[in-house]
Amino acid sequence: MAVRRWEVGRDAVDRMLAIGELERVPANREHAGHLLGLASTHVHSATRLSDDDPELAFAAAYDAARKALTAALAVQGLRPTTRGRHVAVRDAALAQFSPSFAALIKRFDWMRRTRNDSEYPDLDSPGIFPEDVAEAIDYATEIVEKAVRLVETLPPYGR
């Protein structure tokens, strides 16, 4: 059963809307479902790639988690902008879905930073290790599962 108006994190989301990190779009459960389907596919792809291409597997796991969190925003009629980028996904989720989701969102942030470091490495960057990939797949799986439950209950983001 969906709630009427989501109040948790409202001040933070309103601020993100005001400064252009998030924008309002039509609330779209179909699009959220599509994103969740892609997220699930990405988790399976990450699992298959983990031994042969750990960097790509990690990126797939990260994309799965990001798309799952973005689905929770889509069902509310919210979307990160190019200004807010992936950090806006993290910040909006952390503001709205804590404390029960806080630990997972912090893991998502670790995935975001690790993926970024692998995409734009420096000489001190350790790279991605098999245990990183395994953790990322576990985290992504859990984020997708929780996002599925969120999408079922979240209302459009009202004024």
pTM, to two decimals: 0.90
How far apart are alpha carbons 159 and 157 in whole angstroms? 7
Structure confidence at residue 24 (pLDDT): 96
Tokens representing 13? 């989301």
How far apart are alpha carbons 156 and 76 in whole angstroms? 4
Burial profile 34-61: b = 16 or more Cβ within 10 angstroms, e = fewer: ebbebbbebbebbbebbeeebbbbbbbb
| H or E element, residue 23 | strand 22-24
Tens-digit pLDDT string for the chain (159 aa): 444 556 778 899 999 999 999 999 999 999 999 999 999 999 999 999 999 999 999 999 999 999 999 999 999 999 999 886 888 999 999 999 877 788 888 899 999 989 988 878 777 777 788 999 999 999 999 999 999 999 998 999 875
Structure confidence at residue 73 (pLDDT): 96
Q: Residues with Cβ < 8 Å from 60, sequence gap 6 or more?
A: 42, 43, 45, 46, 49
Structure confidence at residue 90 (pLDDT): 92
**Triad 30, 96, 25: Cα angle to 5°:** 40
| H or E element, residue 153 | helix 130-153
How far apart are alpha carbons 105 and 98 in whole angstroms? 9
Tell which residue, 18, 115, 28, has the closest CA to residue 63: 115
Tokens representing 11? 């001040």
Contact status, residue 27 vs residue 156, Cβ threshold 8 Å: yes
How far apart are alpha carbons 83 and 94 in whole angstroms? 18
Give me the domains of the chain, ranges plus CATH numbers.
27-153 (1.20.120.330)
